[in-house]
Amino acid sequence: MKKVLVMCTGNSCRSIIGEALINAKLDGVEAYSCGVAPSGKVNPNAKKVLEQNGIWRDEYHSKDLDEVIDIPFDLVVTVCDHAHETCPMFPRPIKKIHVGFEDPDGKEFVAFEATYAEIEEVLLPKVTAALKDN
């Protein structure tokens, strides 16, 4: 089982959606998420779009890197520029890719649906390709 970490700043929208989509759609891959400055909560619209698509899990929550740092990840994906620029060092070398998405936080629910669709269309193939190259 390959392990992927999806990082953004607040770990309330994009990285949670990415984590859920990878877990739901990519066989043989287990995803986690965290934030470089976690908000401590999942955005209600992010949760709603995941529930609407049948892939919400109660264990999804906003968390700090410290909560997942000891997991032996095969790939780290940053989904916002801030996380990309401040991506911390890991205990061992890990392949990293950056795939930026606009933050839907503070916008209407339709923005979350668009972010979900974009992450599914853009992120999943890039994660699959990066893991094959690993």
Helices 14-25 & 124-132 angle (0-180, nearest 10):
60
**Could you give the 3-state DSSP secondary structure of residue 34?**
strand
Q: What is the mean pLDDT of residues 67-80?
A: 92
Q: Parse the chain into domains and list their residue ranges.
A: 2-132
Report the chain's mean pLDDT, rounded to a whole number: 92
User: Pick the catalytic residue: 5, 8, 83, 123?
Assistant: 8
User: Pick the catalytic residue: 21, 79, 80, 99?
Assistant: 80
Q: What is the mean pLDDT of residues 104-127?
A: 97
The domain 2-132 is placed in CATH, from the list 3.40.190.10, 3.40.50.2300, 3.50.50.60, 3.40.50.300, at 3.40.50.2300
pTM score, whole prediction? 0.94
Annotation marks residue 80 as catalytic: yes
pLDDT confidence band for 91 (50 / 70 / 90): low
Q: Strands, DSSP E only, in 42-134?
A: 75-78, 95-98
Annotation marks residue 13 as catalytic: no
Please say if the pLDDT value at position 4 is more than 90: yes
Annotation marks residue 34 as catalytic: no
User: Pick the catalytic residue: 55, 65, 68, 87?
Assistant: 87
**Could you give the 3-state DSSP secondary structure of residue 30?**
strand
pLDDT the model gives residue 84: 63
Q: Which residues contact 34 (CB under 8 A, 6 or more apart)?
A: 5, 7, 11, 15, 63, 64, 65, 67, 68
